[in-house]
Structure 1
Amino acid sequence: MTIEKAGSGETVRAALAEAAARLSAISDTPRLDVELLMAHAMGSSRDAVLLGGLDRETPQAFAALIERRLAHEPVAYILGERDFWTVTIEVGPGVLVPRADSETLIEAAVDHFGARAPATILDLGTGPGTLLLAALDQWPQARGVGVDASPRALDFARRNAERIAPGRAEMVAGDWAEAIDARFDLILANPPYIEAAAELPRDVAEHEPAEALFAGEDGLADYRRIAPQLQRLMAPGGVAILEIGHTQQQAVTALIEGEGLNVACRRDLGGRPRALIVT
């Protein structure tokens, strides 16, 4: 297959180096960004590009992708997807981009259940279905419900569910768990937790939905709503695992313990508090 026939005359190797240098001013991961964008332009995988495509001619489409990234558009939006845990999540404007830190919640769930498996899973604020679908892929016999208030997010979530866990995931519109009248073995939630006045990178502030990021002046508004609902939602022996901002362990723990529940904390790969494990 000839993929470089409408190319620029520049080799992929040279284009990657030049583009990474340009992106270094706006990205913490410029080389990764350009490799992913080049693979997308070539209709290939990143591994295939690096292992066998560096001396090919750069496809013409690559330049436009770099300009979009230089305008601070998230790589995941440009690609239309983001890998998370063992699944690939379709994303786009209007939904939160999955972060690697959120995999801490799935790791905590796997450790909690051990050789067992949850039969039922609830994902509060599911967005494009990230946590729920990763969990359903981990436990193929489980079924789950994802709840979100955003019609746009639910559109993505339903498409992702049809591809990743057909027939096993129900995506419903809701205001947290107010309309949920069932109990679950595993409850997952990555609610908004950023303070209203916080400054965010332009990639996030200018592109990702504010309603999925900000949670009042102290970033705790949604935890105050979720905490009182957890006990009625957990099945006997169940667990709820909530993502937190790395400075929020003490405050969110106090909210949950105030509901008579026990709380442990799991740190992410950077050593920061990231997931509260509620039993």
Structure 2
Amino acid sequence: MNDKLHILRGSTAGSIAGADHVLDIGPERAGWTHSSLRIVELAPGGIHSLTTGESEWIVLPLEGACTVRTADEEFQLLGRESVFASVTDFAYVPRDAQAQIASGAGGRFALAGAKCERQLPARYGPAPEVPVEERGSGNCARQVRNFASADAFDCAKLIAVEVITPGGNWSSYPPHKHDEHRPGEESELEEIYYFEIDGPGGFGYQRVSPSREGGSDVLAEVRSGDAVLVPDGWHGPSIAQPGHTMYYLNVMAGPGETREWRICFHPEHTATTGGYR
């Protein structure tokens, strides 16, 4: 299971529509039905053409600025110097649309997607409106940037957040899961973790443990550009190497009629931590 769920940087790379995809994970590659993530690198003056198909997408600058054009809208994304520098603005592109992503100076951009039925309007997400949450304490402290959480930005299916974990700290802790539909208690969501580590030679660790017999089981050493798929199971902790801040982008979607993030905590860990730290 570890080999299939830990996606190494470059292992899904390719050139599509004039851009270099250093990561390309869709439902077919992941073996599920909804969640997608592409990491696109554009050279100076580069343009990437996006056909959204049956999925809605958020264009999220990781490094650099870009312009996102659809048939009816044009959004200038100021972006950021790096994922460790600040939150960023972003653009939402609906299903059944054509878009172009152009960058004068070049950069790296995440395209987070989810298959959906509803077609919403294309929109701009300003950086100052992104809710930033300081979650946890002590060596479980981290920053969560809820740019497309279920209660922060309207999407049909897609849920996406960024997490910054200081070096030496744990996040995604206690381990939790969302692999069953239990109304009011737990939502069924496929999840992708995409990682970047600050500083040369940096790494982190990601754990996914089975919540059922034969379920997902991963202990991965992750480096910048890697991803871990979570089709099911308890996920966490995410552990940052001392001296190296860890970033991850979470992309989630599922079959539920209601777009919501409801999780169940691992009972053996919550008894000692007293909740989601």
Question: TM-score normalised to the size of structure 2?
Answer: 0.29
Question: TM-score normalised to the size of structure 1?
Answer: 0.29
Higher percent of residues as helix: 1
Which protein has greater RCO, CA pairs closer than 8 Å, 6+ apart? 2
Higher percent of residues as strand: 2
Q: Which of the pair has more CA radius of gyration? A: 1
